[in-house]
Amino acid sequence: MSLGSQLLQYLFTGITLGTIYGMVALGFNIIYSSTGIINLAQGEFVMLGGMMMIYLTTIIKLPMVVGFFLSILIVALMGALFERGAIHPLKNPSVITLIIITIAASILFKGGAMFAWGKETFALPAFSGEEPVRVLGATILPQTLWILGIMAATVVFLIFFFGFTLTGKAMRACAANRTAASLVGINVKTMVLLSFALSAAIGATAGIIIAPIALMDYNRGTMLAVKGFSVAVLGGLGSNVGAVVAGFIIGIMESLGAGFISSGYKDAIALVVLLLVLFIKPGGLLGSKEKGEFKKF
Amino acid sequence: MLTIRNLKSYYGRMQALKGVSLHVEEGEVVSLIGANGAGKTTLLNSIVGLVSSRTGQILFSDTDIIQRNPRQIIRMGVSLVPEGRQLFAPLTVIENLILGAYQRYRKDKKSEIKSDLEKVFVLFPILKERKSQIAGTLSGGEQQMLAIGRSLMAKPKLILMDEPSMGLAPLITTQIFQIISELHKQGTTILLVEQNAEAALRISSRAYVIETGRVVLQGMSQELLHNQEVRRAYLGREYKEVWE
């Protein structure tokens, strides 16, 4: 393989990884924007999405399409239940308390998944065909195209939802100014519930589309959450465009690093980026400085 | 329209209102004047339910609303233009206005909301010009207009205004007060809280003076404008120099 096609191959891998990280980061952003919470259980939503899909399609043998939407729905409900059970009942909690609650939830979800499905690693067949497509000496799996397509659809959906629907605007209003939101009659608590359900759904989507190429087990969520968090910080917490761009940056850096340096350092790269961003530009690539000053985290 | 009897409000253990009673008739502009920390903002926030630990009676159109939350109170037709404007700063002007009508989308026709939007644009032509601009980038006066416009979008029966002239240049302040009297002419009922006592007294029919959580004086605005005590304390007039 020539250097050129090797580079291209790493690039494709990086884009695939980056898309997933970007989607995890989008989930972080949605909850962060409407509540100020960093939801550390975000990675668990990804894992649950993947596991649920595998369970529904390979064990219960539902058709792929049904399994896809049903898994997303179930995980979204779990997100909503988590909000109602653990976040909603608290009166005037501090943000740090809430974040610690999300850690507890993450452990609970992980434990629950291990209890339900055991410790093995599961595989999911690709959505359509396993035959790689050859491009200029590099190969792309058809699943990669699915991943890119679904990511694009998710981003378009989010842009439409937050930009053009009343509920989406109300969610942004809550993020911008809670007092004012309740003054125009928006039920802030419902919006928080919705943001948990929505970000769980997006996490689940990411888990489902990555399962055919990365496999899935109960323990997969944590690392994805760390990567997704690095991406969200690099892109500027709360910035959705930032999340997508930063996802590609970290994904590509990771696959180049694994290819040219050593795959042992693969997971360290995102963390090094996270540290560098926090040292040099804590607002992230696309986060504004002024906004950053008002953030608690 | 609004009758408040013996309202007491608390921030934790601190009592901010110590039994306030007042009333606002339909179509009236009533102003509430007083120094910093007298409890004016607390009073407005208590009416809409933002300050929830409150006792007494708040009758709005003969219904006691003291047990209700802000959403229910706003739906009944009370709208607050909050202190410091409290816009949705990252959202556009038009989005701010549309969200002002948020609680109406379920029951009212879209065309009705749209025609109210046009009415707001007639009242504030500058907002129409800037409708796609981000609200946080507007000037202070424009932001205040947007805050008033947003509250009008809720189609309120009663508007509570908290210091609409705060931090604005004198010329803009005059403009804002003109708008308030324009709203009055259109029949809107307004309870106005102001530190700019003179301007507030000139456009209102009646007024209450509030001091450390109590109403200490009330009457026709014209009379209060000529009241010695009010002139000295709030209008900065006839200040007697004291020579030892």
pLDDT digits (tens, 9 = 90+) for B74-111: 999 999 999 989 999 889 999 999 999 999 988 888 89
* Contacts for A263 with CB less than 8 Å, ≥ 6 apart: none
- Chain centroid offset of residue A282 CA: 20
- State the pLDDT at residue B7: 93
Rg (CA), chain A: 19
In angstroms, the first-to-last Cα distance of chain B is 51
Q: What is the DSSP letter of B196?
A: -
Mean pLDDT calculated for residue range B1-5: 93
Residues in chain B within 8 Å Cβ distance of A187: 71
The SS3 assignment for B211 reads strand
Mean pLDDT calculated for residue range A213-229: 91
Does position B169 have pLDDT exceeding 60, yes or no? yes
CATH topology of domain B22-53+60-233: Rossmann fold (3.40.50)
Does position A73 have pLDDT exceeding 90, yes or no? yes
d(CA B168, CA A108): 53
Of B70, B91, B105, which has the smallest distance from its Cβ to A183's Cβ?
A: B70
* Contact between B115 and B96 (Cβ < 8 Å): no
Residue type, B12: G
Contact call for A182 and B71, based on CB within 8 A: yes
| Residue A296 pLDDT grade (very low, low, confident, very high; cuts 50, 70, 90) | very low
Chain length of chain B: 244
Distances (CA, A) of B66 to A120, B54, B151: 58, 7, 21
ipTM value for the complex: 0.87
d(CA B2, CA B24): 5
Q: Mean pLDDT score of chain A, rounded to an integer? A: 89
Does position A39 have pLDDT exceeding 70, yes or no? yes
Q: What is the pLDDT of residues A116-138, one digit of tens each?
A: 999 999 989 888 877 888 887 88
Q: What percent of chain A has pLDDT over 70?
A: 96
Domains and CATH numbers, chain A: 3-294 (1.10.3470)
Sign of CA dihedral A271, A277, A283, A287: negative
* Contact between B21 and B6 (Cβ < 8 Å): yes
Residues in chain A within 8 Å Cβ distance of B137: none
d(CA B17, CA A47): 53
Mean pLDDT calculated for residue range A162-185: 90
| Residue B87 to chain A, least CA–CA distance (Å) | 7
Residues in chain B within 8 Å Cβ distance of A186: 71, 99, 102-103
Of A173, A179, A184, which has the smallest distance from its Cβ to B154's Cβ?
A: A184
* Contact between B241 and B65 (Cβ < 8 Å): no
| Residue B238 pLDDT grade (very low, low, confident, very high; cuts 50, 70, 90) | low
Q: What percent of chain B has pLDDT over 70?
A: 97
* Contact between B82 and B102 (Cβ < 8 Å): no
Domain spans in chain B, listed from the N-terminal domain onward: 22-53+60-233
pTM: 0.86
Contact call for A180 and B82, based on CB within 8 A: yes
Q: Mean pLDDT score of chain B, rounded to an integer? A: 90
* DSSP string covering B122-133: HH-HHHHHTTTS
Give the angle subtended at the CA of A160 by the CAs of B110 and B104, to the nearest 5°.
25
| Residue A188 to chain B, least CA–CA distance (Å) | 10
* Contact between B60 and B1 (Cβ < 8 Å): yes
Q: What percent of chain B has pLDDT over 90?
A: 70
Does position A68 have pLDDT exceeding 70, yes or no? yes
* Contact between B150 and B74 (Cβ < 8 Å): no
Mean pLDDT calculated for residue range A226-242: 89
Contact call for A176 and B88, based on CB within 8 A: yes
d(CA A259, CA B18): 72
**Considering only A166-180, A283-297, B197-211, which range has the smallest mean pLDDT?**
A283-297
| Residue B201 to chain A, least CA–CA distance (Å) | 27
